[in-house]
Structure 1
């Protein structure tokens, strides 16, 4: 699951490369948080927005296999 906490288009674009394997969830939070968070199936955080979109692609590939 990829939580998008600010509506950033870059993580959403990455999520489209893993259809059926990565769910994008738009969420809001009252307190300051990262822009987006990738959560592994076991509930652990695999990536946060401050690491950049290329780090997100690498984390998705590691957990979800090759994207489109």
Structure 2
């Protein structure tokens, strides 16, 4: 059904206090996207920064090796 079964998203629970929830809700409303998308993007951006992963450079490297 899926080309890559590892890309199927699973559910994770995050517990937020009311202030944190309000920030996520406000940002989601401002951007016009679901709260899950806001949180996913924030989480992945933070993970990339912490791990020192530069996706643009990685994409360029993969494209260069493929071509």
The TM-score range, normalised by the shorter chain, is under 0.3
Higher relative helix content: 2
Q: TM-score when scaled to structure 2?
A: 0.27
Q: TM-score when scaled to structure 1?
A: 0.27
Higher relative strand content: 1
- Give the structure with higher Rg (CA): 2
